[in-house]
Structure 1
Amino acid sequence: MASLFTVGEILAATEGRAEGLTADGVSSISIDSREIGPDALFVAIKGDRFDGHDFVGTALANGARAALVSADKAGALEGALVVVPDALEGLRNLARAARARSNARIVAVTGSAGKTTTKEAIRTVLGAAAPTHFSIKSFNNHWGVPLMLARMPREAQFGVFELGMNHAGEISPLTRLVRPHVAVVTTVAAAHLEFFDSIEGIARAKAEIFEGLEPGGVAVINADHDHAGLLVEMARASGAGKVVTYGFAEGADWRIERAEAADGHMHAVVRHGGATIPLSIKAQGRHMVANAVAALVVAEEFGVNRDAAVSALAQFGAPEGRGETSRLGPPAKPLLLIDESYNANSASMAAAMDVFAGQSAAPGGRKVLVLGDMLELGEKGPALHAALKDAVLASGADAVYLVGSSMAALADALGPQAVTDHKFTTDEIAQSVLAGLAYGDAVMVKGSNGVRLSGLVKQIRERFA
């Protein structure tokens, strides 16, 4: 068993006490009793819907070596336990211990859109150069970040972490936990406006990522939005040793001068320091090129060979739910499915529909849009949904399906002639969408994760694969 932590290290890091514990160490850490690995430490955190303490017995039965539990729940539990005042804080202490012992070079990523895709691009580049540990899925919140950090192996040479937020003040403790050498902000846009007075407030919340930079650390900032200057100022005020910008904007340190789509790829030219860098990725959209260039910047800062980084990115494609493109059915006339079901805000909606505008259906096929609510926009939600009208019309869609109560504003803006169907839930609209699709069509599904459009994507795959 490769030891992630010895029992002694766990007890020292958490200042916990052992009860019924005979194992020498653990090889992994999990908070999900259903996905427990052998020789794992199960951490019984309390979530919004479930309390992990209710699943300690299941976790131990499924192979966990021990469970990290809160003291106020320990009396009712049996088996191998590490008892601490609070299980979530115990997890954070394990994360601190993993970070303190590590010699890895660390990068943290945040942004209103593109952070997961950028994280994936960065880990693709760094992973091709040396052992790299990275956040899985979108484990980017108050429990996801410490869980990912606590899982970092001793031998990792690079670490890539995603930091998310809904409110001001949430990124600050996460970045101070991760202590990145490089901090990346992908963009600032109208997301989570329900909890902010303005987009500038969102920018200031994103800039919290710079507070955790290691001495001499590097701030990497996308220059293609209105608040890039504010982020640069805040990075410097936070003590960043270096600030680097990237994007299509004039004056960006890493400037994308050309980006064109061809054969399912994006081909771009990037200029930096007098050098011309050709770049090709297996993904669609100018925003995907920007995400890839962020990875080039990080690679450069970490001393990764530039040609090797460009070569690694040639195999980089959009992750599941974030622009992943599939061709389902007969090769001669497939159904083209673009899965953007994981998240949505004004910026990512515009970027996705720009990509869709460049897509063509097969001869005789139709272009179909399925759009779900953009959540957490507060009182500005109706106006922001209605403002999608021009992008929808410019996309060239032959059929438009809308899902969610907030999409009523877009339905009104488009008018009944332009909307094929509008329902309030994915379950209600699924059969209508499926019945309207055929081989040769091109369909894009885009909405916030809470709308659960991923279920519709699954049904499309099952119907047309």
Structure 2
Amino acid sequence: MTALWSTDELRAATGGSLDAEVAVTGVSIDTRTIAAGDLFVALRDARDGHDFVADALARGAAAALVDRDPPGAAADAPLLRVADTLAGLTALGAAARERSDAVFVGVTGSVGKTTTKEMLRVALAAFGTTHAAAASYNNHWGVPLTLARLPRDAAFAVIEMGMNNRGEIAPLARLARPRIGVITNLGSAHVGRLGSEEAIAEEKGDIIAGIAPGGALVLPADSRFAARLAARAREAGLDVLTHGEAPGADARLLSYDGADDGGRAEILLGGERIGVTLAAPGRHVALNACAVLGAVAALGLSPRIAASALPAFGASAGRGRRTRIAVAGGDALLIDDSYNASPPSIRAGLAVLGAQAAGRRIAALGDMRELGEDGAAIHASLAPDAAATCDLVFCCGDLMGHLYRALPNVKRGAHCADSSALAPVLKAALRPGDAVLVKGSLGSRMAVVVAALTEGAAA
């Protein structure tokens, strides 16, 4: 196997010192998933990664990137010493980007980033080796990590970019330098931090900062900020393609026929009607496919070939994965959409739940975060959607209490303080034939509910 990073390359990229000769085949920040030959990066987050360096080396790591002496490490341990590990990782990512001949696509947006990134991974693989993050690695350490892992022979790279505060997208975009930037959609996620949807649109539009003149921005035609973002892109010397359902969208969703486990979409692009079969359910997935085909067209590749590859895309854990779970007397369907939530994504999830052929349709919802002073009203505003699609709604968290109280009594399952309290209540309430959607912001820890339900999963 060709080394991803040699000793000389590690030194040159980071400006660090490394006394050993190593051949690094991967980059890791987590000893739980580390593989032999990895460079372990000792980042500081909830815990200090330096405390895990000795364990990483014992598990086969080729070297560790550190900015202090790690406890328990041997005196001759292969340590790449730098002034700051996050800066070192960022420098490594920048060096990987500099040496790569891959075509880069950047993805941002209020919701649908990871789904669109994964769909692009599948679509672009039809044209060449494609690299993308293994998970939602879209922040100040996730983007450098994704770049640092970039294989030397990659033909395409898909880089997801997220934010929590103003001013975070532009530096990520400048680091990744995509040829094509994709904005999935624009909504109210993080409005509590940025103050307005206008500010969110401007922040997402900052992906333009990393796209060189001659590249392209693929943006949502259905957004009220589309014209403003298009003007910004053209002023920067970029081409503009739009996606969505609005008349005149370059990649326009003409129709969607949904089923329990997928759907069929027809997309108009370049004067051609392109049929797309999707193995993940929901109209929102079809709209993501419009963005994907728009990006493929912007690259000068065949959208039809990309569309023929998309049936291989399926929903992942925490993002709509469907699992049969054991319940008393039989089994039920779990739709695990627990990774994150915003008002549009909860409505989309409820629509998917409502389309299921099931005995009862049950939603388990945790708080949406970072919605600011309107958070209570926004949660309550979901009641009509929940009542129309669900037989029962279970909620946890203070904010979801507003939704729960806005529901008709007949639709109320239970309201609990947190996900740990909700899990056993929900599990006891499920019957054979039910379909249950689990969704909430990451901070609501709805994965706790999923873990409780999947103990003894049937399939």
In which range does the TM-score fall when normalised by the shorter chain? over 0.9
Residue type of the alignment partner of 1:18? L
| 3-state SS, counterpart of residue 33 of structure 1 | coil
Q: Distance in 2 between matches of 1:281 and 1:236?
A: 33
Aligned 8 A contact 1:126 1:304 in 2: no
Matched, 1:292 2:289: yes
Where does 1:336-375 land on structure 2 (aligned, <5 Å)?
Answer: 336-361=333-358, 365-375=359-369
- Of the three residues 303, 311, 319, the one matched with 2:308 is 311
Aligned 8 A contact 1:439 1:464 in 2: no
Aligned 8 A contact 2:354 2:361 in 1: no
Q: Distance in 2 between matches of 1:74 and 1:410?
A: 48
Shift of 1:170: 0.7
Residue type of the alignment partner of 1:449? L
1:247-271 CA-partner distances (Å, limit 9, x unpaired): 1111101111111113632111111
Shift of 1:5: 1.0
Q: Distance in 2 between matches of 1:33 and 1:443?
A: 33
Q: Partner residue of 1:422?
A: 415
| 3-state SS, counterpart of residue 32 of structure 2 | helix
Distance change >3 Å, CA 428–CA 276, structure 1 → 2: same
Shift of 1:360: 2.5
Q: Partner residue of 2:439?
A: 446
Q: Partner residue of 1:388?
A: 382
Q: Partner residue of 1:255?
A: 252
Q: Distance in 1 between matches of 2:83 and 2:266?
A: 54
Q: TM-score, structure 1 length as denominator? A: 0.93
Aligned 8 A contact 1:122 1:294 in 2: no
Residue type of the alignment partner of 2:177? R
Shift of 1:461: 2.4
| 3-state SS, counterpart of residue 407 of structure 1 | helix
Where does 1:149-164 land on structure 2 (aligned, <5 Å)?
Answer: 149-164=147-162
Distance change >3 Å, CA 366–CA 98, structure 1 → 2: same
Q: Which moved more, 1:27-36 or 1:366-375?
A: 27-36
Matched, 1:409 2:429: no
Shift of 1:233: 2.4
Q: Partner residue of 1:141?
A: 139
Return 5+ residue gaps in structure 1 as ranges: none
| 3-state SS, counterpart of residue 420 of structure 1 | strand
Shift of 1:229: 2.3
Q: Which moved more, 1:179-188 or 1:333-342?
A: 333-342
Residue type of the alignment partner of 2:16? G
Residue type of the alignment partner of 1:390? P
Q: Partner residue of 2:8?
A: 8
Q: Partner residue of 1:22?
A: 21
Q: Partner residue of 1:82?
A: 80
Q: RMSD in angstroms over aligned alpha carbons? A: 1.9
Q: Distance in 2 between matches of 1:329 and 1:76?
A: 44
Identity %: 44
Distance change >3 Å, CA 424–CA 263, structure 1 → 2: closer
Where does 1:205-216 land on structure 2 (aligned, <5 Å)?
Answer: 205-216=203-214
Residue type of the alignment partner of 1:376? E
Distance change >3 Å, CA 249–CA 86, structure 1 → 2: same
Matched, 1:278 2:272: no
1:75-98 CA-partner distances (Å, limit 9, x unpaired): 996411111111111111111111
Aligned length: 455
Aligned 8 A contact 1:172 1:212 in 2: yes
Aligned 8 A contact 2:54 2:70 in 1: no
Distance change >3 Å, CA 28–CA 438, structure 1 → 2: same
Return 5+ residue gaps in structure 2 as ranges: none
Q: Partner residue of 1:398?
A: 391
Q: Which moved more, 1:414-423 or 1:426-435?
A: 414-423
| 3-state SS, counterpart of residue 360 of structure 1 | coil
Residue type of the alignment partner of 2:60? G
Residue type of the alignment partner of 1:447? G
Where does 1:1-150 land on structure 2 (aligned, <5 Å)?
Answer: 1-19=1-19, 21-23=20-22, 25-47=23-45, 49-70=46-67, 72-73=68-69, 78=75, 79-150=77-148
Shift of 1:302: 2.7
Shift of 1:464: 4.7
Aligned 8 A contact 2:107 2:184 in 1: yes
| 3-state SS, counterpart of residue 340 of structure 2 | coil
Q: Partner residue of 1:230?
A: 228
Aligned 8 A contact 1:335 1:464 in 2: no
Q: Which moved more, 1:49-58 or 1:74-83?
A: 74-83
Shift of 1:415: 5.0
